[in-house]
Structure 1
Amino acid sequence: MLAAAASIGGCSGGGGEASSGNNGSGSGGGGGGGGGDTTGSGIGDGGGFDFDGGTGDASLNEDTACVATKLQADYEQRPADIIFIIDNSESMTDEINSVQQNINQNFASIIERSGIDYRVIMLSKHGSSALEQSVCVEAPLGSGSCSPVPTAPNTNPPHFYQYSLEVSSLNSLCLAIDTLKGAIPPKGETTSPGWSQWLRPDSLKVFVEITDDGVDCSSISLGADPAKTDEGDIALKDVDDDDMETLAGGTKSAEVFDAALTATAPEYFGTPSARNYMFFSFVGIVENTPPTAPWPPEEPVTWEQCRPGSVDPGTTYQTLSVMTGGLRYPIQQHGTFDAVFQAIADSVISGAKLSCEIEVPKAPGGHSIDLETVQIEFTPSNGGQKQTFSQVKTPEECKPMSFYIEEGIIRLCPDTCAMAVQDNTAGMNLLYGCSVNPN
């Protein structure tokens, strides 16, 4: 979150001129101005500032604003929790081998160099890829060697955890729900708090699904009886979409999974209207042009699949990727997972890089902030022209050079945030009008 670098300035005094608040002084009949880097003028009995309607002009500046808060252009890097879900069915040997070959050099090491606080959570059976289509992650991401494969996963806190259980070709999303809080424990264990024990509330969650099939499963952990599927559990199915040349199954299943995930753990995954996760999918989707290029979220979900090379196009996984801004890759391109993993690492870094949020400061004594008057002045560090970010009412109204206010937090719109973070030494001022609180 962006932090204010200074305290709140005073409001305009009776007939007074605005002055810098560096020494806590202000002109007019009122008291002193703001301290530190905040600018403003003194509070008086009369004067030129209209507390009910702002300055009388739609524009504010450091001299006419009741509050002018100078900000440090200091964008936080969010932690990132990356959840790999890997199909252990017999057709997945090549894909698992490629994951094991690339997860260190072309994924974890790239994120580590970025400085992001990351961890990888693996939902897949631990073991030999050649003998049982299982996954073993070696050092440095894992804690040791995979030659020979150890009996237990190479767990390596705080960066790597493996929830070892067999993921079939059709049930990965249901298992993700049922293992989240331990309804189904890992292989060899009778109880477990689930893989949610390794998640962090403030982190960006990133799913990476790797399978050559679709979805056809039911959960057991959401109903009244945790030992079986009953009322309250979810059923997901998309395996008929390619034969029927439709997206209906995947569309519905993605919506059901999203609702279940966010209802089960909103503290980690957000809500359907404000999700805190991205979903990347390696599935049996038809190849893009060129064949190694991902399908971006702007491109629609497709029921077309690559034959041979996959069993199903995975329309549920694709829909989740589109819903959350993730990328989709053709799984048959496992020979180029090096470049693909690098691209996903870059996406994780980009998604976790900043949180363009600013707390609304407190108003001077006896006044309240008029939120409708808030403006942001942005001055590029290269001496370019000062720009003013305008306020919109809702996230849906976002446009370039704009922001909105939600629950006491000023949030830069996505395009504005992306632009601002490119100039970490730029100047930013928040300008506010105030209104007098009645006695």
Structure 2
Amino acid sequence: MTKNTALFVLSTLFVTTACADDGRPDYGDGIGSLGNGGDDAMDDQGDGLDGLDSSGLDSGGSLLDMGAIDPEGQEEEECASVTAGAEAKKLPADIIIVVDNSGSMAAEASAVQAELNDFSQQIIASGVDVHVSLISSYPGDGHGICIDAPLGSGGCPGSDDNLPLFNHVNQFVSSHDALQRVLQSYGEWGPSTREDATTHILVVSDDESNMSGQQFLDQFYALRPDYADLRLHAVVSMHNCSYAADIGDTYINLGAQTNGVVADLCDQNFGPVFDALSAEVIGGSLLPCEFAIPEPPEGESFDPDKVNVALDDGMGTVTTIPRVDDAGQCAFVAEGWYYDDPENPSAILMCEQTCGSFQGLEQGNVEIMFGCETKIAE
């Protein structure tokens, strides 16, 4: 599975440019770089992982330009631009982790316990607001788990809740009932999830599920409409090995169906697996075609009618994207962008077809320029 999501990056600089007839300043070096971030991130994360099927994103955020208004009395053909970094908006992420506590899971339970702090800190460091819920017994009840600080509260072995960041649902998970336990304990982890967050479930088990994948999805989606974006990830047995009680076909199929990460428990190499999972969570939270408008540099101001967006496809073609009034107008133009709020804009949003154009390029530059009269869609 490949997530082909574009990332845009620029460095802070000062540029004086001249406006072309189409409203786009003449420019030299491209400001933003656009590439296949998903594949690159997984190449970096996933080396040496047999059986790993995933995609992920670089943890760096997207950046855009913040520009100055033309100096008073200056004609349109010469306009000043000042850049300032701004990250693309990120959605929060809710992660439910369910771990098989049965007698054959000693090594795996210890590995999850050891890796969860690094896993969560990678996500937090990326700027994603994450809530983690763990469904597992505590140590002493099968192969239970307790999470130390900073993810947990530091009260191990018997208490580690650290709300709102971390919620431990104290529930023994048997060999075959991980999916049922997720549904049955909704009342305990549900309040930690948010309507505007991406939703992830990670199952760690060396056995197969008694519940079918479709039964689980039907019941899970019925819990709340916003769970429709679920990505189910799994660290399960993908072939017969000494660590496998049974092959986890149900979890493997659910991972494929929901575009999740699936890794082979038989490898017993959990560090790279959790790195890949964190990359997937981070990547799934990025909104690469929605850009927050940063505060202008000191002494400057923002004019919403002097913003232009241009796309360089990396092969010599540069296109200035016209602005439309709102998302409803996107259907009537080939390409376009619009403000989240025309009266008081705080973000630039790309029309769906324009977003697809950005994401479909192997390389190229996107420029968001401030200081020249906006090109308006006709």
Coarse TM-score class (shorter-chain normalised) = 0.5 to 0.7
The amino acid that maps onto 1:96 is: A
Counterpart check, 1:207 vs 2:201: yes
Q: Note the residue ranges of structure 2 that are not aligned, 5 or more in a row.
A: 1-20, 24-67, 70-84, 292-307, 323-333, 339-348
* Structure 2 equivalent of residue 279 of structure 1: 232
* Structure 1 equivalent of residue 105 of structure 2: 92
* Structure 2 equivalent of residue 426 of structure 1: 367
Query: What secondary structure, in the 3-state scheme, does the structure 1 residue paired with 2:185 have?
Result: helix
Counterpart check, 1:379 vs 2:311: yes
CA distance in 2, matches of 1:140, 1:313: 34
CA distance in 2, matches of 1:404, 1:320: 35
CA distance in 1, matches of 2:162, 2:364: 36
Q: Deviations over 1:277-311 (max 9, x none)?
A: 211111110xxxxxxxxxxxxxxxxxxx2232212
Query: What secondary structure, in the 3-state scheme, does the structure 2 residue paired with 1:167 have?
Result: coil
**Aligned-residue CA RMSD in angstroms?**
3.8
CA distance in 2, matches of 1:164, 1:403: 50
* Structure 1 equivalent of residue 145 of structure 2: 135
Alignment of 1:143-162 (within 5 A): 143-146=153-156, 149-150=157-158, 152=159, 154-162=160-168
CA distance in 2, matches of 1:261, 1:333: 30
Ranked by relative contact order (alpha carbons within 8 Å, sequence separation 6 or more), the top structure is 2
1:404–1:210 CA distance, 2 compared to 1 (3 A): farther
The amino acid that maps onto 1:94 is: A
Q: Select 2:272's aligned residue among 332, 339, 350.
A: 339
Q: Deviations over 1:332-359 (max 9, x none)?
A: 223x21121111111111111116369x
1:113–1:357 CA distance, 2 compared to 1 (3 A): closer
Q: TM-score, normalised by structure 2?
A: 0.59
* Structure 2 equivalent of residue 371 of structure 1: none
Counterpart check, 1:319 vs 2:272: no
The amino acid that maps onto 1:386 is: V
Q: What is the percentage of aligned positions where both structures have the same residue?
A: 27
Contact 1:381 1:427 in 2 (8 A): no
CA distance in 2, matches of 1:278, 1:211: 17
Contact 1:93 1:133 in 2 (8 A): yes
Cα offset, 1:163, TM superposition? 1.0
Larger radius of gyration: 1
1:315–1:422 CA distance, 2 compared to 1 (3 A): same
Q: Select 2:183's aligned residue among 177, 181, 194.
A: 177
CA distance in 2, matches of 1:277, 1:165: 22
Cα offset, 1:411, TM superposition? 2.7
* Structure 1 equivalent of residue 131 of structure 2: 119
The amino acid that maps onto 2:259 is: G
Alignment of 1:37-436 (within 5 A): 75-105=88-118, 107-128=119-140, 132-146=142-156, 149-150=157-158, 152=159, 154-180=160-186, 182=187, 194-216=188-210, 236=211, 253-267=212-226, 269-270=227-228, 276-285=229-238, 305-334=239-268, 336-354=269-287, 356=289, 378-380=310-312, 385-387=317-319, 410-412=351-353, 416=357, 418=359, 426-427=367-368, 432-433=377-378
Query: What secondary structure, in the 3-state scheme, does the structure 2 residue paired with 1:340 have?
Result: helix
Cα offset, 1:132, TM superposition? 2.5
Q: Deviations over 1:246-280 (max 9, x none)?
A: xxxxxxx222221221122113x12xxxxx12111
Contact 2:92 2:196 in 1 (8 A): yes
Q: What count of residue pairs does the alignment treat as equivalent?
A: 258
Q: TM-score, normalised by structure 1?
A: 0.51
Greater mean alpha carbon deviation, residues 420-429 or residues 90-99 = 420-429
Cα offset, 1:82, TM superposition? 1.1
